[in-house]
Amino acid sequence: MKSLRNVTLALTAAALVAITAAPADAGCLSSCCEPAPVCCCPPPPVPVTWCVTDPTTCCKHQVTACVPACCAGEVPCLVSCKRGFLGRKILTYKFQCCGHCVDVVITHFGKVIVRD
């Protein structure tokens, strides 16, 4: 009985020595040691200002719209002009670099509404 206790004690001591002598990262899985992926959020929209000309009265209006940051500094192109409800004019402008479109509505009384 005493010899069995000595053998158990010796095996336990050997196991403790082996565990403490092992390198710290030996049991680490590769997935837990890699850095977590960084989440890159897109930059917030930026305001862009340009001049719009009323196609019937030739009056110029300054408009501002919030567009994706990649469109900053670009002047949009007029891609369509159509009649809306109650004599409104709906002008659609497109930013060529990002494909973002903005509708500018000019009412019968000359009020300008931007739909971005």
Locate the domains of the chain by residue range: 2-33, 46-115
* Phi, psi torsion values for 93, nearest 5 degrees: -110, 140
Please name the residue ranges forming H helices in 1-116: 2-21, 30-33
pLDDT digit string, tens, across residues 8-58: 655 565 555 555 555 555 555 555 566 666 767 888 999 999 999 998 889
CA 106 to mean position of chain CA atoms: 32
Q: Has this prediction a pTM greater than 0.85?
A: no
Q: Which stretch of 29-43, 54-68, 91-105 has the lowest confidence by average pLDDT?
A: 29-43
In angstroms, the CA 101 to CA 22 distance is: 62
Burial class of 102 by CB neighbour count within 10 A (0 to 12, 13 to 18, 19+)? buried
